Amino acid sequence: MDWPFGIRRAAQARGSRVGEQSNNRSGDAPTVTGSDATEVNTNNSTKQGTLTGSATATGFDRAAEMAREAQSQQGRLLNGRFVLEDILGRGGMGLVYKAQDLRKVEAEDRNPYIAVKVLGQQFSQHPRAFVSLQQEAVKSQKLAHPNIVTVHDFDREGDTIYMTMELLKGDPLDALLKLEAPFSKEVALRYFRDLCAGLEYAHKRDLVHSDFKPGNIFVTTGGTAKILDFGIARAANKNALSHDFDAGELGALTPAYATVEMVRGEPPRFSDDIYALACVLYVMLTGDHPFQRKSAAEAREAGLKPARPEGLSNPEWQALSAALSFDPAKRPPTIAAFRDALIPPRRGSARAAIAAIVVLTLVGGGWIGWQQYRAGQAQQEAIQSRLKTAQDCFFSGDFACAAENALVARNLAPDNSEAERLLSAARKEQAERQATAQIEARLQEARDCLDAKDFACARVKAREVLALQAGEPRAEALLERAERGSRQLAIDAIVARARACLGEGDLDCVLAAVDEAEAAGASGAELYPLRQQVAQQQAQQQAEQAALQAQLDALLQEAEDCLKASRFDCVADKADDLLALDAGNTRAVELKQASASAQAQARMNQRTADALLDDARDCLAARNYSCTIAKSESALAIVPGYGPARELVQQAENAQRAAKRNISIE
């Protein structure tokens, strides 16, 4: 057992089996999970510490003894209140423990158990981890809904940051899917309704879950689906946050349930959860992910399309496939719209009852009318003639004629059900024919727009058709062509801009345009030539830069050598050559300055040496040879190798030797 402070319990006498998955859907195993919980407690015994006192001990006494026992195992007691027992799950942001709340024990609550989510070390060391868990708690506390896990509070003890929540009994959905998928349609839709209710509730409060998946869904033993882990839920409206920090920064999306927009890092939107919910429903119905567990971006690039699950009607499949669309504009606008499209509200029975009453009324009225008009045989024959003509026209496809004659018959006999039926059917066929003609006209207009490469026009016309007849395959195909054409136009414009940048040698501009084109949906084949040309120019630039650097290094070395040799003109020439190649070369500037300083010092030294030589010559004239030598050597010390100084030294030494030879000792 790993406790929050990283210290293992010395002995786990309670014998809980951590990591076993419960298969008992009606058992009493208390289970709670966080994000991606993979370890579930299946110990069916109710544990309230190892207190061995009498059955008459008060709740306060039991709580005190449990606290003392827990304190002997460092890290097991949080804030003197929560006694951690078993690890129930390991999520993306930390561990979830089963714990006893000593306040409930004191109150002799029959169910003192809760779940405690402890932030992992990698997050607890994050400078804003406390804010993260606080924001999760605040957001989750706002979501008081039967299909969302209840969060109680958050707190910290030292470096341990934690949150308390309700303890659930049941299994995570991902575990159930491994054992039981595919679910029956009835079961899948029951869970779907629960999830819709929870997400719709969160969306109305401007929260997008952003990591909706089977691992974040829990099914209780009562068969209720609950949504877990709003830890990285994102605010759809930034103003909905009470703090500038967005806890979603610590989270990570799950690619298999991520939309194209999420992969691109776009701001969260409700349609992200709609897409993820559709993926979850598909997995429940089929046991398989609709896109082989690829993200929407990868699936779209690979051209993947989900197979229709067995048992779904055409309207149901249309609703589900729309929610699975890679294009957010094609998805249902809200969770409620998705649910109602898949499971229409039950209003038909009331309508049927009303219709039955109307039919019975019409039949009764028709019979009375027939009896009333029976005496008028001529009028009756006229009615029958009109009805016969209406029938003939209807079956020949002349619905205008059928409607006209049926209307006359109905006016003659307002309660005649056959006339009413024929009139209604003819008008319906007329409307359908008009709608069909309108659809065909709009389809042709969309085709004409496509031929003219007016993709905006084509999209408008195709959507008008879909508004008239949802799911019309030709309109959907034309809309897709228009979308592709529009994307291709945008891609072509970006590629043209990239080529212009390439011609100007602005490689950064080219790379930015290539990335933009890729994000817009350009294929790798389209962008390959540009990438190759960029790579070639980069290689050429690197070679040129290397050659230039070698030339600069050589000139710099020559200038350094000239400075050492006091060849100041040479230093200046080499430094100028360096600056001509690299105007910002600071070493070249430093060498010129050093050369100028050395040259000025050399001139000063020369003047000093010349003054000393003048003194040396005076000393030589006065036959003070020692003075001459001293002055000359001083000049040589200032200007080493100075020729006139060496000559004076030589003259003085020669004169000194000659003078010594002329001295005679008596």
Per-residue pLDDT tens digits for 578-615: 999 999 899 989 988 988 898 899 899 999 999 999 99
| CA contacts within 13 A on the Cβ side of 84 | 29
Q: What is the pTM of this model?
A: 0.46
Mean pLDDT of 299-318: 94
Total residue count of the chain as it appears in this document: 666
What gap in Å lies between CA 516 and CA 520, rounded to an integer?
6
What gap in Å lies between CA 338 and CA 276, rounded to an integer?
12
Mean pLDDT of 45-71: 60
Handedness of CA 101, 105, 108, 113 (dihedral sign): positive
Asked whether residue 40 carries a pLDDT value surpassing 90, the answer given is no
Region of 326 (left: φ > 0; alpha: ψ -120 to 50; beta: rest) is: alpha
The residue type found at 627 is C
| pLDDT confidence of residue 4 | 45
Asked whether residue 343 carries a pLDDT value surpassing 50, the answer given is yes
Mean pLDDT of 167-179: 91
What gap in Å lies between CA 210 and CA 627, rounded to an integer?
97
DSSP 543-575: HHHHHHHHHHHHHHHHHHHHHHTT-HHHHHHHH
Mean pLDDT of 645-663: 88
Mean pLDDT of 42-61: 46
In the three-class reduction of DSSP (H, G, I as helix; E, B as strand; rest coil), residue 94 is classed as strand
Place 37 in a pLDDT band, splitting at 50, 70 and 90: very low
Comparison of pLDDT for 188 and 56, the residue scoring more: 188
Mean pLDDT of 322-344: 95
Nearest to 210 by CA among 246, 168, 163, 156: 246
Asked whether residue 212 carries a pLDDT value surpassing 60, the answer given is yes
Average pLDDT, the chain: 80
Domain 348-452 indexed as CATH 2.40.160: no
| pLDDT confidence of residue 93 | 66
Comparison of pLDDT for 49 and 617, the residue scoring more: 617
* Lowest mean pLDDT across 340-354, 419-433, 493-507: 340-354
pLDDT digits (tens, 9 = 90+) for 378-418: 678 888 888 889 888 887 888 889 888 888 888 888 888 88
User: Cα-atom radius of gyration of the chain, to the nearest Å?
Assistant: 46
Q: How far is CA 162 from the centre of its chain?
A: 25
| pLDDT confidence of residue 243 | 41
Mean pLDDT of 84-94: 78
* Lowest mean pLDDT across 158-162, 170-174, 386-390: 158-162
Mean pLDDT of 180-189: 94
Asked whether residue 365 carries a pLDDT value surpassing 50, the answer given is no
What gap in Å lies between CA 131 and CA 246, rounded to an integer?
9
Mean pLDDT of 283-309: 95
In the three-class reduction of DSSP (H, G, I as helix; E, B as strand; rest coil), residue 316 is classed as helix
| pLDDT confidence of residue 46 | 36
Domain with CATH 1.25.40 in the chain: 348-452
Mean pLDDT of 229-245: 46
Comparison of pLDDT for 69 and 332, the residue scoring more: 332
